[in-house]
Structure 1
Amino acid sequence: MSDSAEPEFGDAYELLTTSPTLPKSHSRTQRTTYTELKRQVAADLRSSQWGRGGVCFSMVIWVCFLVQTIILLCFFGSFSEYDTQWCPPDDVFRMTVSSGKNVRAAGAALFGIKDFFQITLAFGSLTFTQARCIDLFWDIAVGRGGQLILVFCLWKAFSAHVRKSMHAGPVSYHTYRLAFINDTPMLWSTLWFLRDIVTKRSGRSRGTMAFLATAMLFALAFPILVSAMTGYRADRMAFIEDERQSLTAANRFRSIAYIIHDGARILDTDKFIVPFIAEFTMGVTSRTELSWNLIGPVKCNNFEGGHYCNPLAFAASKYAQDYGFFGLNTTTRERIDRETLWNGTIVPRPALNISAFYFPNGSQLFGREWVDPRTSTRPFGGEERDLRLAVPGFSNRTFSVDNMIQHGICHPQDTYQWGFSFLQVFIVANLLLVWTMGVWLVWLKAHSSLLDSKFRVPSTYQAILALAENIQSQFGPGRDVEPEKLDQHVATELDGGRISIPDATPLPNISALKLMGRWIKRNGGWFVGLFLLTAYVAVGWIYTPLLPYVTLVVFDITVMFALVVGRTRQSRLWMLFGGGVVALIVGLCVLAALGPSVWIYFGILAGAKGW
């Protein structure tokens, strides 16, 4: 295959602007050698207009980033019941018990309108100075910097659309000045532009002009929106107060599986508390729970699903299954008066006195189905409120759920957290996506219509000269107007003025949606793959080990690059192959930079999840 082979997909920019149809490549039926494929890839890279291709590539990356952000926010919002905040923004201690699950922080509803102005996604443990500096940096870098980018992109689309509108009819002086002389929309100029739309002075396509005016208002308000959705707050820590008015951190408590009442016979103390497996500890999401328990419990292979568990919980479960609870013989209802076996150790008679409180449905530990021979009831298969919690190794005192809720308090700390208002971030992300797609389609339609036009966007001084000549011609020769009254004369006598392109020829009416739809249709399979990969990258970090995840992120960017630059299926596949190698190398470099401790952590975590 030669370099001049006709493209199968077409350059992204070219197809979006000029090509209504592109001939199909016959490369499917042609046997392509490695040398020809390499030449084909090189030809695609050389033929790409990197300035225009860079715009398309940046656009695809930005849209994918916004889509990923929205998917991630929806994912978090749907699981907001697993909020990690014992002390949500209202500083009221909250905890709850879910049916058959675990005791956890009740947190705040991320989509709750009452928390619209609260910082519901907070991070870090910062000093006041650090939190304040982060907030200022965000306002300047993201707020003002983002506004500059939005204004630049909006001005490009707006000037192209006004240029296209001038082929169909005149526009007002103000609209012309805003498009070609004032390259930054200001509040008053935007309001005057809205007036031109209402009074039909802005040319045709009033719907598009109205959208552009709304987009200008959004760009002007962007720093305010970005600043409003972030902030910092004093950190709060949850404590449980006992009858002696001493405080214990809430995150130290663990759900109790068993209590060995005569534990001193085999362990350290009587009334020895045995915590549950990690999946039923007092915590939040499973990954957080596992990270809390990696230093103590080990993997319990005897349970399906590879849960982390307390080895003593398994030992107590096995002992209770063999000898019963309370050391009772299920037949005689009397205490077993013989030697027993605890975790491979012989225990002198009588049997150990072990009891429990509550086992959720599906628990792998023995006890829920045990029948007390004295009462013929199942004492450990009751309601969730029967669950008890304690601080293992700290105190023999146990707390019921109701007792913890009643005595839970939130104390302010000397540190601060910086973060976001979840609902505001969600709204701004969706508005940004709508703004981006709308401005992109306006620019695409105008630019596609103007490809064959000889009229180009004038420079600032050219626009000033053209405007001055037009004003002079409309006022008539020899007319002298005082400078301070010029604005009044333009507004009254000229009704805002009109300016158009001399001898303008009608432009073809090209639908931007059809252009975009044609490109998506021709690249349908690639778009489906890109969407699925992008969606997984958005939420896959929760389930995927570090190396595969970093590799997928880099590979996702490679797919975007191949979609924009590659013109044939073969060249795209080779770009994906090269990008896959680069992605793997980047993943290995990131893993090597993090060090052996992170390898061990993710290795154990992968084993726990069954990867």
Structure 2
Amino acid sequence: MDISYGNEPSLAYEYPPPYSPVRGAGEGNNGLWDEKKDDGIVVRIARTWTRTATFQEAPKKLARTTSDFLQQRTWPAIRDTTTTHVTPMIASAPRTTWSFVRDHVCRPIWNYPLKASQFWGLLLLLFGIIPFAIYGLIVGAPYGRFYYGAFAAKTLGCGDALGVPQNSTVVGIEALFVLDWTFGQFSFSRVKTIDVAWDIFVGRGVQMIFWAISYRVFSDALLRLIERHPASFETFKSISLEGPGLGSSCILLKQLFRNRGARTWFLFFYMLLASFYVLSIPPLLGAMSGYDSTAIAWVAVGNDDTIVPSSQIIQSYAILGVRNQTFEQPICDTTTMELRDFFYHKMDIEKYCDCKLPNGTVLPFQEWQYRYYSYNYNNEPNWVPPQGPYQYEDCKTHFDGQTGVYLSSWGQDSDYPRAKNWGEYACNDTFPVTLPDGQTYSIYDINYTASGYCFGNKTYKYWDLVDSTRCLPDTANPSYQWGFSSAMIGVCFIINLVWCLSMWVVWQDALRAKLVRRGYRMSPLRAAFILTEAARRRTGVNGVEGLVLRDRRLLRRELRRGKGRKEAVVDREVFEEGEGDDEVEYGKGNAITIKRRPVRTRSRDDVGV
């Protein structure tokens, strides 16, 4: 380059670079493009690059001070960027966050190219290990043992039962079908709709997913089997076309008595068991769920075993007598609020007031509590009254000469805040109580108990009723609950884990097949073509038309096993390519093309002997 601009090399080139936008413009040497820059510099570029192309006007502002550069370039750029980008991002932070999660988290996970081993490992975790572990921890948490709660004895309650209802504890095999996790209160039509929807969508949906998994594993295992020895036409047809179904199970059961190879026998036996599990998924899921009528607690009262709803038996105070008189029939009191309030007043009295012993000793009640329990329970005679030890109730807080007072909120108007709810009471107050019979007594003169129950103006003790509760259907307001059996859920999760792990092991063995490693995937359509080829080879009929028009009974007789006649088989030669074909594509995701090779005879190495 001998052309220069001042002391600097020229920007002219003998030939334009291949990425130049003016390469091949074709407008002659006189054609020029003008481009005006922000700072007023005009640059003229020749369309047809020659050695005479030069700048016609020298730049006037090549040198700037640092201050000019910051003022004219940097700060405006920062201001414009902040105004146009930062503020809208802050204003739309939720939308931006969701867009980031959707575009950079969800989509990469969804579009991540999982390998076959990773995909099946994920299915093993989702359908086998994770549900088994989570449920075992949930039902075992209250008992500290893994899965213990699922198979423990089931005790069914029914609302406000007194104690444990009769015949409510279920053990053994019957506990598998006890619906101990129930919810809701539905009419019969609604609960039946829920049950049917569960059986259709959940039961059949899970069966469809497991059928697809089984079909893939069974077909790959069948390809592995064909590499060792031919598979019968009937077995290949049932597994490759039907998958794990009732018809294929019958075929596998027959093959158990025909194949003498140990590996083949165990494979068919496992396929039979796995197919039975897939077929039994809807009834198993139906057995773990269901509905039951809503039950309420009924209690037997009296000596004639009269049963009444437990809701009609009200917990109340039982007044046994007054002063030195004991009632023949205790009085049932459910309305007197003074008896309830005195329980809390008594706590305040024992906290702030004094008490008097029979020997005349007056001391704070809290000190009497400490000395009484210290003497009786610690076996340390720290303090013994002069006339010997007394009972706890012998220290009376209501006695002549009692002058203490205390503050208590009980008995005041509860509509006011607690700060205004305090009232002053004397420690020697009598607390008059009017009984249902109209008589008024001091609270200290009444002998009563708070652990009574009332029905028909008659009092009952708790221990008289606790063993007589029964759970019976609510005939007045019939309704139903829908739920699950925790024991049956545990059984299904355990069986499901065993099925998933065994399917994983079988699939790992099937991966050793050459066709599977190359990406070959079985499908019902491809299986139909293979079966057609196997039938054509067995019958010797050329072309598909001959098989279609052939007598059905004759064709079945030729393909099935009979007297002195072996059944048709599908061997590895069906999958080997003949000479005239170019290539065939196996699989989809990780597919490769395999060149066809000439058919050759089988050797001992192919059989695995």
CA RMSD of aligned residues (A): 5.0
Matched, 1:57 2:150: no
Cα shift at 1:235: 0.2
Please, what TM-score do these two structures have when normalized by structure 1? 0.51
Aligned to 2:561: 491
Q: 1:120 to 1:458 in 2, by over 3 A?
A: closer
Q: Does 1:402 align with 2:489?
A: no
Tell me how far 1:212 sits from its aligned partner.
Answer: 1.7
Counterpart in the other structure of 1:272: 339
Bigger radius of gyration, 1 or 2? 2
Partner SS state of residue 274, structure 2: helix
User: Partner residue of 2:234?
Assistant: 174
Show CA shifts across 1:537-559 (max 9, x none).
xxxxxxxxxxxxxxxxxxxxxxx
> Counterpart in 2 of 1:193?
252
Out of 418, 426, 436, the position equivalent to 1:347 is 426
Contact 1:261 1:272 in 2 (8 A): no
The 5 A counterparts of 1:162-561 are 162-182=222-242, 184-200=243-259, 204-240=263-299, 247=308, 249=310, 269=336, 272-273=339-340, 316-317=346-347, 319-320=349-350, 333=394, 335=396, 336-337=398-399, 338-339=402-403, 344=408, 345-349=424-428, 388=451, 390=453, 397=459, 399-406=461-468, 410-412=472-474, 413-447=477-511, 449-450=513-514, 453-454=517-518, 456-476=520-540, 482-489=551-558, 490-492=560-562, 494-502=565-573
Paired residues, number: 381
Distance 1:110 1:230 in 2: 17
Find the aligned partners of 1:390 and 1:420 in 2 and give their Cα distance: 35
Residue among 126, 138, 157 paired with 1:72: 138
User: Any idea what SS the aligned residue of 1:124 has?
Assistant: strand
Separation in structure 1 between the aligned mates of residue 299 and residue 492 of structure 2, nearest angstrom = 38
2:205 equivalent to 1:140: no
Match of 1:309 in 2: none
Contact 1:388 1:398 in 2 (8 A): no
Please tell me the residue identity of whatever aligns with 1:66: F
- Answer whether contact 2:534 2:570 (CA < 8 A) is retained: yes
Structure 2 gap segments, 5+ residues each: 1-103, 324-333, 363-367, 369-384, 409-423, 434-448, 577-609
Task: Assess, with a 3 A threshold, how the Cα gap between structure 1 residues 83 and 469 changes in structure 2: closer, same or farther.
Answer: closer
Q: Which residue identity is paired with 2:195?
A: D
Contact 2:180–2:483 (CA<8 Å) still a contact in 1?
Answer: yes
Deviations 1:553-573 (A, max 9, x none): xxxxxxxxxxxxxxxxxxxxx
TM-superposed deviation, 1:192: 1.2
Give the Cα–Cα distance (whole angstroms) in 1 for the partners of residues 307 and 227 of structure 2. Answer: 80
Q: Is the 8 A contact 2:354 2:404 kept in 1?
A: no
Shift of 1:171: 1.1
Distance 1:353 1:259 in 2: 17
CA contact (8 A) 1:327 1:350 kept: no
Post-superposition CA distance 1:312-363 (Å, at most 9, x none) = 8776446457779999887684743125556644235267799xxxxxxxxx
For the residue of structure 2 that corresponds to 1:198, the secondary structure is coil
- Aligned equivalents of 2:135 and 2:509: distance in 1? 27
Q: Secondary structure at the match of 1:181?
A: helix
Q: Could you tell me how far apart the structure 2 residues matched to 1:79 and 1:271 are?
A: 45
Give the letter aligned to residue 505 of structure 2.
Answer: L
**Does the 8 Å CA contact 1:86/1:95 hold for their aligned counterparts?**
no
Asked if 2 retains the 8 angstrom alpha-carbon contact of 1:255 and 1:388, the reply is yes
Measure the CA separation in 1 of the matches of 2:148 and 2:162: 18
Q: Structure 1, residues 148-184: CA drift from partner, whole Å, max 9, x if none?
A: 11111110110011111111111111221123223x4
Q: CA deviation at 1:127?
A: 1.2
The one-letter amino acid of 2:157's match is: W
In the TM superposition, what whole-angstrom CA distance separates every residue of 1:97-145 from its partner, at most 9, and x where no partner exists?
A: xxxxxxx668855653234444333221111111011001001011111
Distance in 1, Cα, partners of 2:351 & 2:458: 24
Note closer, same or farther for the CA distance 1:485–1:115 as it changes in structure 2 (3 Å cut): same
* CA displacement 1:504-545 (0-9 Å, x = unmatched): 99xxxxxxxxxxxxxxxxxxxxxxxxxxxxxxxxxxxxxxxx
Match of 1:428, as an amino acid?
Answer: C
Q: In 1, Cα distance between the equivalents of 2:121 and 2:321?
A: 67
Structure 1, unmatched stretches of 5+, are 1-39, 97-103, 275-311, 355-385, 506-611
Cα distance in 1 for residues equivalent to 2:153 and 2:315 = 17
1:126 aligns with 2:186: yes
Structure 2 partner of 1:114:
174
CA distance in 1, matches of 2:154, 2:431: 39
Partner-residue secondary structure (3-state), 2:230? coil
Counterpart AA for 1:484: R
Query: C-alpha separation between the residues in 1 aligned to 2:166 and 2:351?
Result: 34
SS at match of 1:495: coil
SS at match of 1:223: helix
Query: Residue type of the partner of 1:491?
Result: R
- Partner amino acid, structure 2, of 1:60: L
More strand by share: 2
Q: Using the alignment, how far apart are the partners of 2:575 and 2:350 within structure 1?
A: 93
Q: 1:327 to 1:339 in 2, by over 3 A?
A: farther
Greater share of helix: 1
Matches within 5 A, 1:572-583: none
Aligned to 1:362: none
SS in 1 for 2:231: coil
Q: Distance in 1 between matches of 2:522 and 2:490?
A: 39
The answer to whether the 8 A contact 1:390-1:397 is kept is: yes
Does structure 2 conserve the Cα–Cα contact (< 8 Å) formed by 1:163 and 1:457?
no
Q: Which has the bigger relative contact order, CA under 8 A and spacing at least 6?
A: 1
Please say if residues 193 and 202 of structure 1, whose CA atoms lie closer than 8 Å, have aligned partners that are also in contact: no
Amino acid at match of 1:399: K
Q: Counterpart of 1:443 in structure 2: which amino acid?
A: W
Q: Structure 2: how far apart are the matches of 1:251 and 1:82? A: 30
Higher mean Cα deviation, 217-226 or 446-455? 446-455
- Per mean C-alpha deviation after superposition, the further-off stretch among 204-213 and 341-350 is 341-350
Going from structure 1 to structure 2, the CA distance change for 1:415 and 1:259 (only over 3 Å counts) comes to: farther
Task: Give distance in 2, aligned partners of 1:389 and 1:83.
Answer: 29
> Structure 1 residues 491, 325: CA separation in 2 closer, same or farther (over 3 Å shift)?
farther
What secondary structure, in the 3-state scheme, does the structure 1 residue paired with 2:573 have?
Answer: coil
Does 238-247 or 67-76 show the bigger shift? Answer: 238-247
Q: Residue 124 of structure 1 contacts residue 418 of structure 1 at CA under 8 Å; is this kept in 2? A: yes
Contact map agreement 1:260 1:353 (CA 8 A) in 2: no
Partner residue, 1:563:
none
Distance 1:119-1:346 versus aligned 2 partners, 3 A rule: same
Cα offset for 1:195? 1.5
Q: 1:4-53 CA distances to partner (integer Å, 9 max, x unpaired)?
A: xxxxxxxxxxxxxxxxxxxxxxxxxxxxxxxxxxxx999x9799414755
Amino acid in structure 2 at the alignment position of 1:495 = K
- Shift of the 407–313 alpha-carbon distance from structure 1 to 2, 3 Å rule, reads same
Tell me the amino acid that sits aligned with residue 177 of structure 1: K
The 3-state SS of whatever aligns with 1:123 is strand
Contact 1:388 1:400 in 2 (8 A): yes
* Residue number in structure 2 paired with 1:279: none
